[in-house]
Amino acid sequence: MEQLLAKLKAIFDAHSITDVDMEAIKEDVVKLTTAVEQEKVKLINKNKELLGELKNQKEKVKTLELEQQKIDPIEYNRLKEEEEQRIADDPTGDGKKAKIDLESYKQKLEQRHNAEKLKLEADLKAKDDILVGRDVLINNMLIDAELEKQFVTGRKVMDEHRVMLKGYFKNQSFVELDGDVRDIYIKDPETGDDMQITDFFDSWKSSNGAKSYLEAENSSGSGASGSKKSFTKQKPFAEMTVSERGDLFRSNKEEYYRAKNGK
């Protein structure tokens, strides 16, 4: 305020204006400044008041939304029957208006129910898609690991053929759930039969077609010669050697599955 008065005095002096009552001007400026400050305080207080009202309105809307979510369909049906009875007793009374309100109430119920149902269905589909994707990934990992295991079990598949054979056999392989257990099967390319992957490789490694892909047998090993003669139908499947299982599968598939299933 002092700066304002100093500027005014400088203006008056510059224009040779005399007989100016600076004290009176100072009083007027003080009054004006005070009035402005008072109006400013009023505006600030009004703004706070409006913000408080807005907050209250938001709380009311939130409360109404929560109340709407608590609408009970059973209570709605009871009210509807009551109002319909009022209409029947007095068709020209307010019952008609009440019925219109109830129909609107019912529509809101249905809309909310449908919206919740759509949201749940979308959530379930999203979760199902995630589970399906994980299942595919898990199954592929299990098949890859099992093929690698079969390539180095018993007579080993030569390194230079593993990539090609893995791609070929993987296309024939699939996983089936047995409770919480995942069993790996492979479709025999020659017979079209579904076999457990271990049984398939037992048979395949004993076949003539697999010889060019396998490492040579150790001369010190037990060998497979004469294994067919030593096999009898009464011998339990679990006690058969790899060669015996392969020989049985090629010679008598029906007997192979009978022995395998313990029948």
Answer with the residue of higher pLDDT: 170 or 6.
Answer: 170
pLDDT tens-digit readout, 112-143: 777 877 887 787 777 777 777 877 888 888 89
Give the chain's domain count: 2
pLDDT tens-digit readout, 5-49: 676 667 667 766 767 677 777 777 777 778 777 877 777 777 777
The span from the CA of 29 to the CA of 1, in Å, is 8
Task: State the pLDDT at residue 148.
Answer: 92
pLDDT above 90 as % of the chain: 15
Stretch 196-210: mean pLDDT: 90
Stretch 96-122: mean pLDDT: 70
pLDDT tens-digit readout, 218-257: 644 444 444 433 344 447 777 777 677 777 776 777 787 7
Task: State the pLDDT at residue 174.
Answer: 93
Q: What phi and psi, each to the nearest 5 degrees, are found at residue 223?
A: 75, 170
SS3 17: coil
Is there a domain that residue 203 lies in? yes
Task: State the pLDDT at residue 16.
Answer: 67
Amino acid identity of residue 198, one-letter, is T
Predicted TM-score of the model (pTM): 0.40
Is there a domain that residue 150 lies in? yes
Q: Are 69 and 112 in contact (CB under 8 A)?
A: yes
> 251 and 139, same structural domain?
yes
Is there a domain that residue 240 lies in? yes
Is there a domain that residue 182 lies in? yes
> 138 and 25, same structural domain?
no
Domain hosting residue 4, numbered range:
1-37
The answer, yes or no, to whether residue 173 has pLDDT greater than 90, is yes
Picking from 202, 183, 211, 207, the residue whose alpha carbon sits closest to that of residue 240 is: 202
CA-based end-to-end distance of the chain? 111
Mean per-residue pLDDT of the chain: 75
Q: Are 61 and 67 in contact (CB under 8 A)?
A: no
Is there a domain that residue 101 lies in? no
The span from the CA of 60 to the CA of 47, in Å, is 20
SS3 37: helix
pLDDT above 70 as % of the chain: 71
Q: Which strands sit side by side in the sheet containing 194-196, from one edge to the other? A: 173-178, 181-187, 194-196
